[in-house]
Each structure stands twice: as structure tokens, then as C-alpha cells.
Amino acid sequence: MALSFPKPSKLISFSLLLLMALVQSPWDVNGEQDLVFFLQDVTKGPNATVAAVAGVKGKDWSYTTFGSIYVVDDPVTEGPNKNSAPVGSAQGLLVTSSSDGSSLNVIMSIVFTNLQYNGSTLQIQGVSRQNENYREVSVVAGTGRFRSARGFAALETVYYDPNTTYSVIRLSVTLLSSSGP
Ligand SMILES: *[C@@H]1O[C@H](CO)[C@@H](O)[C@H](O)[C@H]1NC(C)=O
Ligand SMILES: *[C@@H]1O[C@H](CO)[C@@H](O)[C@H](O)[C@H]1NC(C)=O
Ligand SMILES: *[C@@H]1O[C@H](CO)[C@@H](O)[C@H](O)[C@H]1NC(C)=O
């Protein structure tokens, strides 16, 4: 019979499999998954991770001057310390996109090179209000283990040294259900 019910032993092993899947699931009760990483950013000097590449002619190119465009490649680490385990890098563009210079448009890929997510990426996009410490942007897509990712991410500066322009930015990613690894 094509539609016969599985024998009890099969039922048991099936529910065991289901239970194992539930136990191993990275999703929390809300069906969300949180990932936290740290961006190691240096604005100026020989080790700068950010470069100004364009701007409005005749004006300073700066984070607070409308029209300035930067390329960024920040190392991403597991912890706030720059010597903590590498995770990958945050590569993309920052554009001073508000006419008063208060906000940046962030278009960035988190390119993973760690063992867990090697080769996968997360695509981050949105407005970063520079005067606010909590800056929420969108997770619009992903590749590899993050294929079809959707969610949001918070950028928060947890350390800044104005002398060296070195800052550590916490990136807290929340992925919505069925969109993560
Ligand atoms: C740049 O990085 C090199 C290698 O890590 C380091 O020796 C040097 O002190 C750094 N320079 C500055 C200005 O931070
Ligand atoms: C990540 O993948 C690349 C290319 O396949 C490989 O060369 C590298 O060793 C991998 N890194 C880790 C940490 O597995
Ligand atoms: C920055 O430099 C000033 C003057 O040299 C110094 O007093 C201050 O402690 C330095 N700040 C940090 C965070 O190193």
C-alpha cells in the first residue's frame, strides 16, 4: 500500500531525528538568530582600513561632507580585541548621503573566512546616523550558508581612540527565521 503508515519503530526514529534537529537548531524561541562580531576600523594613517575615493569637487572629503565616498575593508574579529580570532572582513562603501553630513549610507558585505562560515557572506545596507551610538541597518541578503538572509544589524562603537583614529565597532546581527545557517 502506497499510503501505509510507517511501522512504530520507524515512527520512533523519525521523532528522534526531529528532536535532534530541534536540539541542534540555532534558532531561539522567536525564530531569530543572533550573531555578534567586531569591526576593527582605522580611519587615517598607514594602516587605514578606510580610503576616501571621491567627493564633491572643491570641498573636503570627509565623513561629514555631503557626497564623500569611502571604500572600507575592516578586519572582523570574534571579540573586541583586535588580536581575537579573525572572522572575516567588512568590505564595501560608505557614502555621506545626507545633505547636512549627519548620516552615511552603508553598503557592505561581511565576507567570512573563519572555519564556521568560510566562503559565505552577509549583505548589509542602510543609513548610519553618525551622531547616534546605536545605528541600525538592514541585512538584505546573503550567500553560502546565509543564502536568502534577512534581518537587521546594529552598529555600535565600543572603543574609539581619536589619537590613532582606531575604533572598534560591535556588529550585532539578528537574522529572521529561515534565513540563516
Ligand atoms: C601599522 O601596522 C604595523 C604592522 O602591524 C605596525 O607595526 C605599525 O605600528 C602600525 N602603524 C601605525 C601607525 O599604527
Ligand atoms: C576557506 O576556504 C578557502 C578556499 O576554499 C581555503 O583556502 C581556506 O583554507 C579556508 N579557510 C578555513 C579557515 O577553513
Ligand atoms: C591622546 O593624546 C593625548 C595627548 O598626547 C593624551 O593625553 C591622551 O591620553 C591620548 N589618548 C589616548 C586614548 O591614548
User: In the chain, where are the structural domains located?
Assistant: 30-175
Q: What digits encode the pLDDT tens for the residues 25-47?
A: 455 666 789 999 999 999 999 99
CATH code at 30-175: 2.40.480.10
Confidence of residue 48 (pLDDT cuts 50, 70, 90): very high
Tell me, in angstroms, the distance from the centre of ligand 2 to residue 143's CA. 16
Q: How far apart are CA 102 and CA 104, in angstroms?
A: 7
Give the chain's length.
181
Is residue 163 within 6 Å of ligand 3 at its C-beta?
yes
Cell 510507517 belongs to: 6
Tell me, in angstroms, the distance from the centre of ligand 3 to residue 155's CA. 25
Q: What digits encode the pLDDT tens for the residues 114-170?
A: 999 999 999 999 999 999 999 999 999 999 999 989 999 999 999 999 999 999 999
Give residue 17's pLDDT.
Answer: 46
pTM exceeds cut of 0.95: no
Instruction: Give the angle subtended at the CA of 65 by the CAs of 157 and 72, to the nearest 5°.
Output: 50
Q: Which atom of ligand 1 is nearest to the CA of 42?
A: 14
Q: How far apart are CA 89 and CA 94, in angstroms?
A: 15
Pocket test for ligand 1, best of 47, 82, 165 (most atoms within 8 A of CB): 47
Q: Mean pLDDT over residues 44-72, rounded?
A: 96
Measured in whole angstroms, how far is the alpha carbon of residue 80 from the centre of its chain?
A: 15
Residue with CA at minimum distance from ligand 3 atom 3: 163
Q: How far apart are CA 140 and CA 148, in angstroms?
A: 8
